[in-house]
């Protein structure tokens, strides 16, 4: 009778392949190995087949001369530069429109989201109409609308709208004077950097003082004064080392100065107005999520409505808003690839478009482009998650 009892105790000494921990580890290892094998065979198979079909592979093309022009470039670029450089030109154009779009969409979204909850009937209705209209029209149509319906009817260069003979608006873009930096301008930059540091220190000091004594300090006005005053002082001390280059009509078009091309303007307007409508709804939901008791309590303490909104409602609403904001920022960045419809030279149009077509190396080009969007999106995600952590309710 002792034997069966021994068997009952067996699990403790069971063979190692019967242990759950071992089995779990085994199957996970097998799965990882299988995935690696599939990935490896896909990779080698692709290479083999591309070679068999006589399609060039590898990244050697990146150093070849591109030989085509690009409408807008933030870095020095012309036809003699390489395909690799077209990648950076496209990337910077994508980042430019995404960054501007995110800033503008956030601004529009917060204003409209708060406006929709406004006690003023007209303001609330205007915000509602804006949100419901722009949220429900496909983005591509909106981009086309801004490009073809709004910007193209502008006058031709020779009939440009002129603002003080320095700013010109026509259907080729908005021409503004460009700064020309002369020797000694570096001090202005240094002064500005110093001002920024000073403002940060000032803000910290002001907060500590308020927490300690309850007295407020006019941080905003002093900061503005520092940020403008210090660089201005440096500018005057160095003998105004900057001049303006004015755009002038030469031949077919304006030359000199800086230009905001209509493609950028249309894309930026469409992206920020479209995404702004979604952000407005996120803001509204965030504010509504804060219990009304909070508002009443703030009023009871004697806070004015503006201060209540800024110091009581918004900080609590942010907890709800930020995760939604993250996905809207990601959407906006990814939607910027619709640029190709109106000829804005973003990464997809330049690199995954012309460069892909001229070199024919679809696999490499598409892989690089996908990697870029993935990197941008993950960076935004990581940043917003960090910000979300910081803003989460700290229970005291």
> Given the rule CB under 8 A, which residues bind another protein?
42, 45-46, 48-50, 52-56, 67-71, 79-80, 148, 152-153, 156, 171-172, 250-253, 255, 262-263, 337-338, 340-343, 345, 348-349, 353-354, 356-360, 362-363, 366
Nearer to another protein, 112 or 338 (CB): 338
In the complex, least distance from residue 71 CB atom to another protein, rounded to whole angstroms: 6
CA distances in angstroms from 336 to 103, 276, 278, 390, listed in the order given: 14, 14, 16, 29
Nearer to another protein, 29 or 46 (CB): 46
257-290: b (≥16 Cβ within 10 Å) or e: bebebbbbbbbbbbbbbbbbbbbbbbbbebbeeb
Q: Is there a contact between 135 and 303 (Cβ–Cβ < 8 Å)?
A: no
- Report, in angstroms and rounded to the nearest whole number, the Rg of the chain calculated over CA atoms: 29
In the complex, least distance from residue 365 CB atom to another protein, rounded to whole angstroms: 9
In the complex, least distance from residue 348 CB atom to another protein, rounded to whole angstroms: 8
Nearer to another protein, 27 or 43 (CB): 43
Among 352, 359, 364, which Cα is nearest to 89's?
352
DSSP letter for each residue of 173-223: EEEEPEEEE-TTTHHHHHHHHHHHHHHHHHHHHHHHHHHHH-----HHHHH
In the complex, least distance from residue 90 CB atom to another protein, rounded to whole angstroms: 12
Nearer to another protein, 68 or 181 (CB): 68
In the complex, least distance from residue 180 CB atom to another protein, rounded to whole angstroms: 19
DSSP letter for each residue of 135-173: HTS-HHHHHHIIIIIIITTSPPGGG-EEETTTEEEETTE
In the complex, least distance from residue 69 CB atom to another protein, rounded to whole angstroms: 4
Nearer to another protein, 158 or 215 (CB): 158
Nearer to another protein, 250 or 304 (CB): 250
The packing angle between helices 83-116 and 262-289, to 10°, is: 40
Nearer to another protein, 130 or 344 (CB): 344
In the complex, least distance from residue 34 CB atom to another protein, rounded to whole angstroms: 17
Paired tokens of 308: 């209540």
CA distances in angstroms from 290 to 259, 294, 321, listed in the order given: 45, 7, 11
Q: Is there a contact between 153 and 277 (Cβ–Cβ < 8 Å)?
A: no
């Amino acid at each position: 009778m002792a034997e069966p009892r021994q068997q009952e105790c067996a699990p403790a000494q069971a063979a190692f392949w019967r242990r759950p921990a071992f089995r779990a580890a085994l199957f996970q290892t097998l799965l990882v190995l299988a995935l690696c094998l599939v990935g490896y065979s896909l990779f080698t198979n692709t290479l083999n087949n591309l070679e068999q079909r006589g399609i060039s592979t590898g990244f050697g093309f990146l150093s070849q001369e591109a030989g085509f022009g690009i409408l807008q470039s933030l870095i020095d670029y012309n036809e003699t530069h390489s395909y690799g450089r077209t990648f950076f030109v496209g990337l910077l154009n994508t980042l430019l429109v995404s960054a501007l779009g995110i800033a503008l969409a956030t601004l529009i979204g917060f204003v409209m989201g708060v406006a929709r909850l406004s006690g003023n009937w007209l303001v609330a209705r205007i915000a509602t109409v804006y949100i419901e209209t722009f949220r429900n029209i496909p983005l591509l149509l909106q981009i086309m609308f801004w490009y073809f319906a709004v910007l193209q009817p502008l006058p031709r260069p020779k009939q440009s709208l002129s603002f003080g003979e320095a700013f010109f608006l026509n259907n080729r873009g908005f021409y503004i004077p460009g700064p020309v930096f002369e020797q000694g301008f570096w001090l202005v930059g240094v002064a500005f950097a110093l001002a920024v540091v000073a403002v940060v220190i000032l803000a910290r000091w002001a907060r500590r003082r308020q927490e300690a004594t309850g007295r407020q300090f006019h941080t905003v006005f002093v900061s503005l004064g520092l940020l403008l005053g210090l660089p201005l002082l440096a500018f005057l001390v160095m003998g105004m080392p900057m001049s303006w280059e004015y755009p002038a009509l030469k031949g077919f078009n304006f030359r000199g100065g800086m230009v905001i091309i209509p493609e950028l303007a249309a894309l930026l307007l469409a992206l920020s107005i479209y995404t702004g409508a979604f952000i407005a709804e996120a803001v509204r939901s965030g504010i509504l999520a804060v219990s009304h008791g909070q508002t009443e309590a703030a009023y009871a303490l004697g806070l004015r409505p503006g201060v209540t909104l800024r110091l009581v409602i918004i900080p609590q609403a942010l907890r709800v808003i930020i995760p939604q904001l993250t996905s809207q920022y990601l959407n906006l960045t990814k939607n910027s690839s619709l640029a190709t419809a109106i000829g804005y030279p973003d990464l997809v149009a330049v690199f995954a478009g012309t460069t892909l077509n001229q070199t024919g190396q679809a696999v490499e080009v598409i892989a690089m482009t996908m990697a870029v969007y993935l990197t941008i999106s993950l960076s935004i995600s990581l940043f917003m998650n960090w910000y979300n952590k910081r803003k989460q309710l700290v229970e005291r």
